[in-house]
């Protein structure tokens, strides 16, 4: 049965010191017409991954500006998530996924969960493929007052044909679809409106709030890291698209030149990602017992403040994705004032300004080369980190994200079309 997630109250005014008071005033003006409007967010997990992190901030901020916002998570058996992980991979273009075993469970679970929703919210935001069929079950029950929005956090530009054939009829029951950027939207998708809204980080969360470097070094030392030696950090799910094995290979190349270098791979196990444990074990096996490779997760007790410490203490933050929706950990690393070496894929180039705040790479060898450059040029690395922090301040904080949602709500409420059906937000 679907479960409502409790969130901690947040005040938009607290964000003025990082986003600027003018931004706060603009958001309150955008929100004024929607005071009391009911907004329901639905996804498939309350922890692990960027979607839940965003909602833990976005929902209480929506409440603070006067919206009646709630967040509900569908509940499902493991077989459901086995299927939706395969579906997720296929929608991002991975061939060979089994989309027959578990399909009945996927459809039945959504039908079952739909029976537990009631009311007439003004806006329903459904995140990703797992609960996508809900609109088909609930549109008539909720009535014409409700505007349905599908928020796709993955790259849907080149999906496996069978995966898209499965999902498309569900998605086209929505009034709007949100993608991270226009390149992610599937060509020919028939929804009345498209919005391009990149994700964001919360600068005041335990993972991102300012932390003294000395404190960060004390924390990482507690995990066996020597804070006096260079440290590389990748924070991400243990997932084939994040290429943790490739990160270990790049680290080994760097270690030939800088023997004291260390690597920390830090991930969070999410309820909707059954592959996580397998890739965690594969990463550990690939490290082959190297004492300078630290493979950690929430299963080791690593929490958000610890992630903050590792990114703050890092000499270089790595995000060597080979396919990516957005990669919030890139903005997290930049926000700590650290240069980032990351895969030249997905939404990462929106965040890393090549040669200014980090480097975009296409191979293990190039990854190692750029890490070596940064470790060998600490003043340049410091300057790049500062540039990255300012870029994130301007483009990837929660305040901008909230404003984008409010603009989309306004467009939907007024039933207007910008351009060829695309809402400019």
What contacts 304, CB < 8 A, 6 or more positions away?
A: 205, 206, 207
- pLDDT tens-digit map of 142-184: 999 999 999 999 889 999 999 999 999 999 999 999 999 999 9
Read off φ and ψ for residue 343, nearest 5 degrees. Answer: -65, 140
Q: Which two tokens stand for residue 352?
A: 């890393």
What contacts 410, CB < 8 A, 6 or more positions away?
A: 30, 33, 34
**pLDDT-derived band at 47, boundaries 50, 70, 90:** confident
% of the chain beyond a pLDDT of 70: 96
How confident is the model at residue 273, as a pLDDT? 67
Q: How many CB atoms lie within 10 A of CB 3?
A: 12
Output DSSP code: residue 415. Answer: T
Q: How many CB atoms lie within 10 A of CB 68?
A: 15
**pLDDT-derived band at 240, boundaries 50, 70, 90:** confident
Q: Which two tokens stand for residue 11?
A: 């005040």
How confident is the model at residue 415, as a pLDDT? 63
Output DSSP code: residue 333. Answer: H
How confident is the model at residue 272, as a pLDDT? 61
The SS3 assignment for 241 reads helix
Alpha-carbon dihedral angle through residues 204, 208, 214, 217, given to the nearest 10 degrees: 150
Does an H or E element contain 86, and which? helix 78-91
- pLDDT tens-digit map of 399-423: 999 999 999 999 999 864 444 444 4
Cα(265)–Cα(280) distance, integer angstroms: 9
Cα distance from N-terminal residue to C-terminal residue, the chain:
34
Cα(215)–Cα(207) distance, integer angstroms: 14
pTM: 0.88
- pLDDT tens-digit map of 305-350: 999 999 999 999 999 999 888 888 999 999 999 999 999 998 999 9
Q: Which two tokens stand for residue 209?
A: 């709030």
Q: Mean pLDDT, to the nearest integer, of 45-55?
A: 86
How confident is the model at residue 268, as a pLDDT? 76
Kindly list the structural domains of the chain, giving each domain's residue range(s) and its CATH number in brackets, ordered by start: 3-200+397-423 (3.40.50.2000), 213-395 (3.40.50.2000)
Cα(230)–Cα(373) distance, integer angstroms: 13
Nearest one of 399, 321, 326 to 360, comparing CA atoms: 321
Q: How many CB atoms lie within 10 A of CB 331?
A: 31
List, as one string, the DSSP characters of 232-262: EEEES-S-GGG-HHHHHHHHHHHHHH-TT-E
Neighbour-count burial for 150-170, b at 16+ CB within 10 Å, e otherwise: bbbbbbbbebbeebbebbeeb
Q: What is the mean pLDDT of the chain?
A: 94
How confident is the model at residue 270, as a pLDDT? 66
Output DSSP code: residue 146. Answer: P
Cα(298)–Cα(283) distance, integer angstroms: 15
Nearest one of 324, 360, 313 to 340, comparing CA atoms: 360
- pLDDT tens-digit map of 65-107: 999 999 999 999 999 999 999 999 999 888 999 999 999 999 9
Cα(227)–Cα(212) distance, integer angstroms: 14
């Amino acid at each position: 049965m679907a479960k409502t997630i409790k969130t901690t109250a947040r005040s938009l005014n607290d964000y003025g010191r990082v986003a600027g008071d003018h931004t706060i005033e603009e958001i309150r003006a955008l929100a004024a017409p929607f005071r009391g409007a009911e907004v329901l967010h639905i996804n498939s997990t309350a922890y692990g991954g960027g979607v839940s992190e965003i909602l833990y901030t976005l929902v209480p901020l929506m409440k603070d500006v006067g919206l009646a916002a709630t967040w509900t998570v569908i509940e499902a058996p493991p077989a459901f998530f086995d299927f939706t992980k395969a579906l997720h991979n296929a929608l991002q273009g991975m061939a060979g996924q089994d989309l027959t075993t578990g399909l009945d469970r996927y459809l039945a679970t959504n039908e079952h969960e739909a029976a537990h929703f009631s009311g007439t919210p003004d806006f329903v935001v459904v995140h990703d493929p797992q609960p996508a069929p809900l609109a088909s079950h609930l549109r008539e029950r909720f009535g014409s007052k409700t505007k349905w929005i599908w928020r796709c956090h993955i790259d849907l530009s080149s999906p496996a044909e069978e995966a898209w054939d499965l999902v498309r009829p569900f998605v086209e029951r929505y009034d709007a679809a949100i993608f991270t950027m226009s390149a992610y939207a599937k060509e020919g998708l028939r929804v009345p409106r498209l919005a391009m809204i990149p994700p964001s980080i919360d600068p005041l969360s335990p993972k991102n709030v300012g932390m003294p470097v000395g404190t960060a070094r004390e924390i990482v030392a507690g995990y066996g890291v020597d804070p006096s030696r260079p440290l590389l950090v990748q924070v991400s799910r243990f997932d084939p698209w994040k290429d943790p094995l490739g990160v270990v290979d790049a680290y080994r190349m760097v270690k030939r030149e800088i023997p004291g270098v260390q690597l920390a791979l830090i991930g969070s196990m999410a309820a909707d990602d059954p592959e996580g444990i397998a890739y965690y074990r594969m990463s550990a096996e690939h490290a082959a017992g190297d004492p300078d490779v630290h493979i950690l997760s929430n299963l080791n007790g690593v929490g958000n403040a610890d992630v903050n410490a590792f990114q703050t203490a890092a000499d270089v933050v790595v995000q060597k994705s080979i396919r990516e929706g957005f990669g919030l950990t890139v903005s997290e690393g930049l926000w700590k004032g650290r240069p980032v070496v990351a895969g030249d894929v997905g939404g990462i180039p929106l965040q890393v300004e090549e040669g200014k705040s980090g480097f975009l790479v296409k191979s293990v060898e190039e990854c190692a080369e750029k890490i070596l450059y940064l470790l060998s040029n600490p003043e340049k690395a410091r300057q790049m980190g500062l540039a990255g922090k300012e870029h994130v301040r301007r483009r990837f904080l929660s305040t901008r994200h909230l404003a984008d949602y409010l603009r989309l709500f306004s467009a939907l409420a007024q039933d207007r079309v910008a351009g060829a059906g695309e809402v400019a937000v």
